[in-house]
Amino acid sequence: MATTKPSGLRFSESLSGYLSRGDDHWAAYEAGRAANLHARFWITVQVPDIQAFMADPEHEASLSGRLTVAGMGHSLPVEHGRIHLFCFRGEGKRLLYFLPFEHGDQRFLLQGEKRLSRPKGLEAWRQMTTLFAEVLQQADGEEALLYRGVLRISLPQVLLQVVSFRPLGTANPLRFLADYVRFVRFSSREMRR
């Protein structure tokens, strides 16, 4: 009996906002906005095996793309990044982003989290479109916090994300549709849990 090759999907996402130094994400966002310290990233998330992804409690997927951080560089490549969708941390669910990048000969990590608390209505929209972000410098196994702030996804970017879904591992449109429906149902269910 032939085994079915895994299939999945990929999609794109773009967030932008402001980062600066500070102890609080929103205060750093406001300081960054006042100083025009803009940050933005464009990523493609790949879920090559939708069944394995949904069975994994961490719901981890790979990502790659580009990012811009004021004072550090424009359109820097992000490779071997990862995202955890709807995983538990502390008392709530999180969407965790890890975007490694290099500037000059130094390594950095933009990491962030979307914090969910069984949101409804406009609160669900706010939580799903708000990323609390930090930029860390990495050297000799140590990490030093450089900046923090908030990145957001706008309504036009959400619409672009919705139409960016593409199949992975299959050319069969019905199989892709089934994977897409599984992913959407999974996301909707996890937001409410």
Per residue in 31-80, pLDDT (tens digit) is: 999 999 999 999 999 999 999 999 999 999 999 999 999 999 999 999 99
Interatomic CA distance for residues 18 and 178, integer angstroms: 38
**What are residue 67's phi and psi, to 5 degrees?**
-145, 160
Percentage of the chain beyond pLDDT 70 is 98
Q: pLDDT value at position 123? A: 82
Region 127-136: what's the mean pLDDT? Answer: 95
Strands (E), 21-153: 38-47, 60-69, 73-89, 92-103, 106-116, 130-139, 142-152
Interatomic CA distance for residues 19 and 17, integer angstroms: 7
Interatomic CA distance for residues 38 and 57, integer angstroms: 34
